[in-house]
Amino acid sequence: MKYLVLIGDVLGSKQLPERAQFQRRLKAALHGLNHRRKTIVSPYTLTLGDEFQAVYRDASGAFADIFTLLAQIAPVQARFSLAAGEIVTPINSHQSIGMDGPAFHRARIRLEKLKGQGRLLGIHDSGDAWWRLPTSSLAILSGLIEGWRQKRLQLFAGVLSDVSVPDLAKQTGITTRAVNKNIRAADLDEWKRIVDEISRLLSEEIKAR
């Protein structure tokens, strides 16, 4: 069967002055994601060093989870690679380890490319011409989010999850006016439309047999 594999990698984790404390915070954040998303079939699991991975049934919610995690670990950054494809081994519903298949291979290849490019976010595409625009769009978004502070990351995670402006204001501790100003300044509504379309394309690829 086809699934969506996510592999993440914390940037500069070995150089963090309080690495043990950060790792506890990262584990707590990953644990929180595992309990808020029903489409996760193999939970977020720390693997090598500060790498982590998870498997989704489809792409719905995956980008919201990415930005939720980025907000929770800020100012520390992480890169994320997503790939749709087959998993040929049984799904491990307890830990995201001991599985294999093209989806994992593709996600790993994209992660290594992201490291070489210095980008934070990317998807493996099939190479078809119609994937060029989604791939390029994520490359642009990746460059933008490097300069986003925690509040904006948190706001975008909420926008991707269809949280209302009043609720976003409560969650972030700022006024509704400030929320709307941030949304307009960073074109968060437009980016939501783009990310939602990329999620739809990934989910369609997962459904294809």
Asked, for residue 209, whether it belongs to a domain, the answer is no
**pLDDT tens-place string over residues 84-116:** 999 999 999 999 999 999 999 999 999 999 999
Which pLDDT tens digit goes with each residue over 34-56? 988 889 999 999 998 789 999 99
CATH value at residue 138: 3.30.70.270
In a domain, 111, yes or no: yes
Residue 70 near residue 145 (C-beta atoms within 8 A): yes
Q: Which pLDDT value is given to residue 49?
A: 78
- 47 part of a folded domain: yes
Structure tokens at 152: 């904006």
Q: Per the domain annotation, does 33 fall within a domain?
A: yes
Helix or strand or coil: residue 51?
strand
Query: Domain count of the chain?
Result: 1
- CA trace torsion 105, 86, 98, 48 (10° rounding): 30
Does residue 135 sit within a domain?
A: yes
DSSP per-residue codes, 63-103: HHHHHHHHHHHTTS-EEEEEEEEE--SPP-SS-S-S--SHH
Task: Please give the pLDDT value at position 15.
Answer: 80
- Beta-carbon contacts of 206 under 8 Å, excluding residues fewer than 6 positions away, are 2, 3, 4, 57, 58, 59, 84
pLDDT of residue 192: 97
For the chain, residues with pLDDT lower than 70 are: 126-127, 209
Report the run of H or E that residue 177 belongs to, with start and end.
helix 176-185
Model pTM?
Answer: 0.94
Cα first-last separation, the chain: 8
What pLDDT is attached to residue 209?
Answer: 62
Q: Which domain holds residue 94?
A: 2-204
